[in-house]
């Protein structure tokens, strides 16, 4: 019979596996996911309705990031 610690560990493992799967899928599709900070300059971004939806703080960071990622590929 599993105790609370075993159940907690199982839930933690499941959450970790789900997060890793999401990250791998995003990387495979080369999608950029909102993290709460600008992907270029790491400036904190304000959540909208409690969710992170922005990728960049402004157009200049977006364009700079696009240029840098194209150079890497």
**Token pair 């019979």 is at which residue?**
1
Token pair of 1, please? 């019979």
Q: What is the mean pLDDT of residues 50-58?
A: 89
The total of other beta-carbon atoms located within 10 Å of residue 44's CB is 9
Residue 19: band (very low, low, confident or very high) from pLDDT cuts 50, 70, 90? confident
Statement: residue 24 has pLDDT above 80? no
pLDDT for the residue 29: 61
The answer to whether the beta carbons of residues 13 and 6 sit under 8 Å apart is no
What ranges do the domains of the chain cover?
Answer: 1-30, 32-73
Instruction: Report the pLDDT value the prediction gives residue 22, as an integer from 0 to 100.
Output: 79
Q: In 1-73, which ranges are E strands?
A: none
Largest CA distance in the chain: 57
């Amino acid at each position: 019979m599993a105790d609370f610690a075993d159940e907690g560990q199982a839930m933690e493992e499941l959450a970790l596996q789900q997060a890793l799967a999401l990250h791998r899928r995003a990387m495979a599709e080369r999608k950029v996911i909102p993290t709460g900070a600008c992907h270029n300059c790491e400036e904190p971004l304000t959540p909208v309705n409690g969710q992170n939806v922005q990728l960049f703080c402004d157009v200049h960071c977006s364009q700079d990031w696009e240029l840098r990622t194209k150079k890497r590929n």
